[in-house]
Amino acid sequence: MKIIGVEEFGGPEALTILDVPEPHAGPGEVRIRVRAAAVSPTDTVVRAGGSGRDISRMPAVPGMDAAGIIDEVSEAGGWQVGDRVMAVALPFGDHQGAYTEYLVAPADSLAHIPAGMDFAEASTLPMNGLTAVQALEKLNLQPGQSLAVTGAAGTLGNYLVQLAKHAGLLVVADAAPKDRELVSDLGPDYIVERGDDVAERIREFFPDGVDALADAAVMNEKAVPAIKDGGGFATFRWWNEEPGRGITVHPIAVRDEYHSGQKLEALRRLAEDGTLTLRVADRLPAEKAEEAHRRLEAGGARGRLVLLF
């Protein structure tokens, strides 16, 4: 089968089309004939070898989001050949990443793709959607409390804002001038201009600080001053400094949601009813993975670039 992987870590040019033996579903697993794999910043980290992990299995295969059709099941209750599904993949796990024609996945990691949406759209939801769910669970805010979201124009930021509003939170989101309309359409209560002084701008609306902040823009110490004493800070790149003032740092790791098929099904329903907006920036043949990585690293994409297999 065809995979897109790297035999040596490096830039986008390191991505190579390779032929490897087909995997097969084991007990409690299914095999997905992948039709679409979303491209995310995490994929570029995997490609470049910047994860900090000791990688012994090569080639390394990026990709944390897949959508496709089940073509093989093995004692996987509830799933049938022909089901159209989406799933999280773990590039450093036993089954590697989603840049592949066939992906084996645990039966409890899947969800049906949202009705009326195609494989490319569905592939944008699993990893970032579950990341946003985990962040909100850890921050544990109650309806009426306040949440600030940095990087609101990105895919993760989109889901954070929309899920937070669905949960009844008061949301302030950042946006560059060119993204203000996009972010406004997500429904935040307040919008502040993106930049290094974002904390100061947030404090203009919340003089005592917000109850929590989800830092999708990875601003770290620049964003923390926006949070009130005793508040919460969700970090998506494992910032481990001590913010002081009684603020609790919550590291978010989507790999912990690998078996969260039921949460993914809940996200599917929210996509179907319009609570969540699934955005595809562009669809490219899998053979153009190098181009997709270059475009992603150049910045400015709104929605996910998606590889089609």
Say yes or no: 98 and 189 in one domain: no
Question: What pLDDT, on a 0 to 100 scale, did the predictor assign at position 178?
Answer: 96
Say yes or no: 101 and 19 in one domain: yes
Say yes or no: 115 and 9 in one domain: yes
**Mean pLDDT over the full length of the chain:** 95
Query: Which tokens in the block code for residue 244?
Result: 């002081």
Query: Which tokens in the block code for residue 224?
Result: 């923390």
Residue closest to 277 by CA, chosen among 139, 67, 110, 117? 117
DSSP string, 260-291: -HHHHHHHHHHHHTTSS---EEEEEEGGGHHH
Say yes or no: 151 and 239 in one domain: yes
CATH number for the domain including 75?
Answer: 3.90.180.10
DSSP class of 245: T
- pLDDT at 302 > cutoff 90: yes
Q: Does a structural domain hold residue 182?
A: yes
Say yes or no: 116 and 138 in one domain: no
Q: Does a structural domain hold residue 266?
A: no
Out of 37-46, 49-58, 122-131, 259-268, least confident range = 49-58
Say yes or no: 36 and 112 in one domain: yes
Say yes or no: 118 and 199 in one domain: no
Q: Does a structural domain hold residue 211?
A: yes
Query: Which tokens in the block code for residue 304?
Result: 């996910």
Split at pLDDT 50, 70, 90, the class of 146 is very high
Q: Which residues pair with 305 in a beta bridge?
A: 39, 282
Q: Does a structural domain hold residue 178?
A: yes
Domain that holds residue 203: 128-254
Tens digit of pLDDT for each residue in 10-31? 999 999 999 999 999 999 999 9
Say yes or no: 157 and 211 in one domain: yes
In whole angstroms, give the CA distance from residue 242 to residue 60: 34
Say yes or no: 74 and 49 in one domain: yes
Q: Does a structural domain hold residue 99?
A: yes
Q: Does a structural domain hold residue 144?
A: yes
Q: Does a structural domain hold residue 13?
A: yes
Residue closest to 216 by CA, chosen among 265, 184, 244, 183? 183
Say yes or no: 174 and 286 in one domain: no
**Residue at a domain's end among 217, 238, 254:** 254
DSSP string, 71-82: EEEES-TT--TT
Q: For the chain, how many structural domains are there in total?
A: 2
Helix then strand then coil, in percent of the chain rounded to 5, is 30, 30, 40
In whole angstroms, give the CA distance from residue 297 to residue 303: 14
Tens digit of pLDDT for each residue in 223-268? 999 999 999 999 998 898 899 999 999 999 999 999 999 999 999 9
Q: Mean per-residue pLDDT for 23-52?
A: 92
Say yes or no: 250 and 173 in one domain: yes
Q: What backbone torsions phi and psi does residue 91 show, to the nearest 5 degrees?
A: -55, -30
- Listed as own residue / partner, the contacts of 134-138 with beta carbons closer than 8 Å and 24 or more positions apart are 134/252, 134/253, 134/254, 134/256, 134/257, 135/160, 135/214, 135/234, 135/236, 135/250, 135/252, 136/160, 136/163, 136/164, 136/167, 136/214, 138/232, 138/234, 138/250, 138/252
Question: What pLDDT, on a 0 to 100 scale, did the predictor assign at position 74?
Answer: 86
Say yes or no: 25 and 88 in one domain: yes
Q: Mean per-residue pLDDT for 302-306?
A: 96
Split at pLDDT 50, 70, 90, the class of 55 is low
Q: Which residues pair with 105 in a beta bridge?
A: 30
CATH number for the domain including 202?
Answer: 3.40.50.720
Q: Does a structural domain hold residue 270?
A: no
pTM: predicted TM-score of the whole model, two decimal places: 0.95
Tens digit of pLDDT for each residue in 82-132? 999 999 999 989 999 999 999 999 999 999 999 999 999 999 999 999 999
Tens digit of pLDDT for each residue in 177-187? 999 999 999 99
